Amino acid sequence: MLWSRRSFIAAPAAALAIDGGSPVRATPLRPRHFGPLYYDDAEWQMLVEVWKTRSPFRFWDFNNKPSQKVSTLEREFAARMSVKYAVAVNSGTSALQAALAGLGVGPGDEVIIPAWTWHSCFHTVVLAGALPVCAEIDESFNLDPNLVERHITPNTRVLMCVHLQGNPADMDRLLPIARRHNLKVLEDVSQAVGASYKGRPLGSMGDIAAASLQVNKTISAGEGGMVYSSDGTLLERAVRFHDVGNLRAPHQEWLGQSKQEAVPGGNFRMNEFTGGVLLAQVRKLDRIVSDIRGVAKRVYDGIADLPGLKLRGLPDPAGELGSGVYLDLGSKETRDKFLAAMRAENVPAAGPSGSVILPVQPYAARKLTVHPAWPTFNSEHGKAIQYGAASCPRTIDVLNRFGGVLLDPRYSEADTRDIVAAIRKVYPQVRAKSSPPTA
Ligand SMILES: Cc1ncc(COP(=O)(O)O)c(C=O)c1O
C-alpha cells in the first residue's frame, strides 16, 4: 500500500493492540545478527582449508606454509576501507587498546570520548593510564560538535570519534576541531562497519581506526577486531603492541622499513579460523550493507510523511548503515508509551541500545582502577574530574526521548510493511496524547 498524506489524515485510528485492538503482526518480529545470517559455503570452505592444512596460527606452521587467511583479510579490509594498512586483532576492545598504543597515549594524556558508547572506550583509555573525558552526544547519538571543545585542555591528545548505532559522526565539524587543537583522531567504527561519511569509508578520515567484528557487528566470526590507518608509523606501533613487540614478515613486508622499536605489548593476535571466516565475511560486506540500507530505506520512505516526525540526526543519510530507525518522541514518558505500544503490535521497539552511559557506571563514578597508584585519576584533572549523571544531562535527555526499531538485513518486504504499519498506527496516537517534542 502506498501511503500518502491524504490517506494518513483520512484513515480512522485503529485501536492499538495495547488497548485491546488487533496487533499489526501475529508473531513478534526479531532482528538477528547480521554477519552470521550470511554464513554459507564460503565461510565453511575457509574453515575446512585451515583444518586440512592444520595451520591455525597465522605466522608459521611446521611446513612453514601458513594458510594466510588473516594476512589476506587485512589486505582486503584495508582496501575496502580506503586505508593503506590494517592489523587484525581478537576483539574491538583489543583494537582500541592497540590503536591508543599506536598513538602513544599514556599517563598524563586525556582522551575525549562520547558519554554514551560501549564500556571499552572508557576502559582502554584507563588501561593506557590516560584520563577518559566524557563529552555529550546530540540527537545523532554521536559526539555533539558544539560541546566537544569545552573539554579540551593542554593535556588532551586524542578525540575518539565513535560512530554509534550505524550512524557516522559529523566528521566535517569534528575533524576541524581536532586539527585546530592538534589532537589525533581515533575513529571507533565498531557499530558502523561498512558505513561511510560523504563517500568516505568510516575509519579512513581520522589518524587511526578501530573496529569490532564481534557477533552483533556488521560482519563477524563471533569475536574479532581490526586496527587500520594509512599512517605506517602508527600502524607499526599497533602491530608491535598486538604481538608482544614483534613485527613479523607479513607486516614488515607491507610496511617497509621498520621505524619503531619494540615496546612491551600484549598478545591480541587473530587465529586463522577466525581470519578465514572474516575473510569470507568481508567479501560479503557490500552485500550486507546494501541489504540493510534497502530495509532502512523502505522504513524511512514509509513513515516520511508522518506529521511532526523528528528522526535521529543523520549527518549523512546516504552513508548511514541503516541498522535502526529512531524517532524523537519528545519525552521519556511518551517514548516509553511508544515502545510498549509497538511491542504489543509485535514489532519490537527499543531506546538507543548497544552502548552505556559511561559517566553513571560505578567504575567511572567511583574512579576505580586495578591498583591505587594507577596514573589515570592521579593527575590534577583526574583528581578533579566528576563523572556521574550530572556531567551528562544532554546525553541522558537524548537517550530518554528517542525510540526506534532495530532492523535486520534479511527482513522481507512484508516485514518492513509491518514495521511501517506499526509506526504509522502507534506514533500519531501516542503523540496525540502527549505534549509536543522539545525543540
Ligand atoms: C563502540 C564500540 N567500541 C568497542 C567495542 C568493543 O568491541 P568488542 O566487544 O569486540 O571488544 C564495542 C562493542 O560492542 C563497541 O560497540
Q: How far apart are CA 191 and CA 164, in angstroms?
A: 6
For residue 118, the CA-to-ligand 1 centroid distance in Å is 6
CA of 165 to the centre of ligand 1 (A): 11
Do 350 and 407 have their domain in common? yes
Q: Indicate which residue's Cα is closest to atom 5 of ligand 1.
A: 92
Mean pLDDT of the chain: 95
Closest residue by CA, ligand 1 atom 8: 92
pLDDT at position 108 over 70: yes
Residue 94 Cα: closest atom of ligand 1: 11
> Which structural domain, as residue segments, surrounds residue 98?
41-284
Among 33, 91, 116, 118, which is best to mutate for testing ligand 1, by the most ligand atoms less than 8 A from CB? 118
Give the SS3 label for residue 222: coil
User: 422 in helix, strand or coil?
Assistant: helix
For residues 228-234, give the mean pLDDT: 98
User: Mean pLDDT, to the nearest integer, of 225-251?
Assistant: 97
pLDDT tens-place string over residues 372-396: 999 999 999 999 999 999 999 999 9
99 alpha carbon – ligand 1 mean position (Å):
13
Active site residues: 217
How far apart CA 280 and CA 395 sit, in angstroms, is 38
Tell me how far CA of residue 352 lies from CA of 50, 71, 139, 306, 331, in angstroms. Answer: 39, 35, 11, 21, 14
Residues 25 and 149 in one domain: no
> What CATH number is associated with residue 328?
3.90.1150.10
Residue where a domain stops, chosen among 223, 250, 284: 284
What local confidence, expressed as pLDDT, does residue 18 receive? Answer: 97
226/280 same-domain check: yes
Ligand 1 geometric centre to CA of 110 (Å):
20
Identify whether 365 is part of a domain: no
Q: Cα–Cα distances in Å, from 219 out to 43, 75, 225, 289, 429? A: 12, 16, 10, 10, 38
pLDDT score of 9 more than 70: no
The answer to whether 374 touches 129, Cβ cutoff 8 Å, is: yes
Ligand 1 contact via 116 beta carbon (within 6 Å) = no
Asked whether 90 lines ligand 1 (CB < 6 A), one says no
User: For residue 164, which of 139, 133, 131 has the smallest C-alpha distance?
Assistant: 139
Q: Is the CB of residue 214 below 6 angstroms from any atom belonging to ligand 1?
A: yes
Q: What is the pLDDT of residue 238?
A: 98
Confidence category of residue 436, pLDDT binned at 50, 70, 90: low
Query: What does the pLDDT read at residue 63?
Result: 73
Tell me which of 233, 251, 284 is where a domain ends. 284
Q: Is residue 384 part of a domain?
A: no
DSSP E strand boundaries for 299-432: 324-328, 356-357, 402-406
Together in a domain, 85 and 132 = yes
Same domain, 104 and 224: yes
Check if the beta carbon of residue 311 is closer than 8 Å to that of residue 165.
no
Which of 262, 284, 306 finishes a domain? 284
Asked if residue 366 is part of any domain, the answer here is no
Alpha helices in 243-379 (DSSP H): 249-255, 272-282, 285-303, 332-344, 362-365
Position 365 pLDDT exceeds 90 = yes
Q: Are residues 162 and 276 in the same domain?
A: yes
CA distances from 168 to 35, 163, 431 (A): 20, 5, 28
Question: Which pLDDT belongs to residue 13?
Answer: 84
Please indicate, yes or no, if residue 183 is contained in any of the structural domains: yes
Q: How many domains does the structure of the chain reveal?
A: 2
Q: What's the gap in Å between 80 CA and the centre of ligand 1? A: 20
pTM of the model: 0.95
Q: Residue 189 in contact with residue 68, Cβ under 8 Å?
A: no
C-beta of 191 in contact with ligand 1 (< 6 A):
yes
pLDDT at 61: 82
Are residues 150 and 247 both part of a single domain? Answer: yes
Let me know whether 289 and 229 are in one domain: no
**Alpha-carbon span 342 to 349, nearest angstrom:** 6
Helix H or strand E encompassing 26: none
Q: For residue range 112-163, list pLDDT tens digits in order.
A: 999 999 999 999 999 999 999 999 999 999 999 999 999 999 999 999 999 9
- Least Cα distance to 403 among 276, 309, 320 occurs for 309
179 and 309 together in one domain: no
Domain presence at residue 438: no
Instruction: Give the DSSP letter of residue 147.
Output: H
Question: pLDDT grade, residue 4 (50/70/90)?
Answer: very low
Residue 439 has pLDDT above 50, yes or no: no
Q: Where on the phi/psi map is residue 297: left (φ > 0), alpha (ψ -120 to 50), or beta?
A: alpha
Residue 241 · residue 266 · CB < 8 Å:
yes
* Residue 114 forms part of a structural domain: yes
Considering only residues 61 and 321, tell me which one the structure prediction assigns the higher pLDDT: 321
Ligand 1 pocket check for 92: Cβ under 6 Å: yes
Is the shortest distance between the CB of 416 and ligand 1 below 6 Å?
A: no
Q: Which helix or strand (DSSP H or E) is residue 9 part of? A: helix 5-10
Give per-residue pLDDT as tens, 29-86.
Answer: 999 999 999 999 999 999 999 999 999 999 988 777 778 999 999 999 999 999 999 9
